[in-house]
Structure 1
Amino acid sequence: MSSHSSFNAKTDVGLKRLGFLMRGWKDSKGGYIGWGHDLLPSLSLSTDETHHTENITTFVFRPTVHHCNGMGTVHGGCISTVFDACTSVALMGRYSDAKWGGGGVSRGLGVTYLKGIVVKDEKGEEGEGEGENDVLVECEVVGGVGKRNVVLRGTMKRRNGVVLAICEHSKVNIVGVELPGGKKGKEGKEKEGKEKEGKEKEGKEKEGIEGKEGKEAKL
Structure 2
Amino acid sequence: MRATMTNQHMVAVFSSGTPIIYPINSDGITSYTPYSIVYDPNLKPQNTQAIEVGTDLTFWNGLINLNYTFSRQNVKDQIFEVPLAASTGYSSLVTNGGRIHTNAHEVTLAVAPYRKGDFKWDFAFNFTKIDNYVDELAEGVNSIFMGGFVTPQVRAGIGSKFPVIYGVSYLRNDAGQIVVDKNGLPQAGEEKVIGSVSPDFNLGFNTNFEYKK
TM tier, shorter chain? Answer: under 0.3
| TM-score (normalised: structure 2) | 0.22
Tell which structure's C-alpha radius of gyration is larger.
2
Which gives a bigger RCO, structure 1 or 2 (Cα 8 Å, sep 6+)? 1
| TM-score (normalised: structure 1) | 0.22
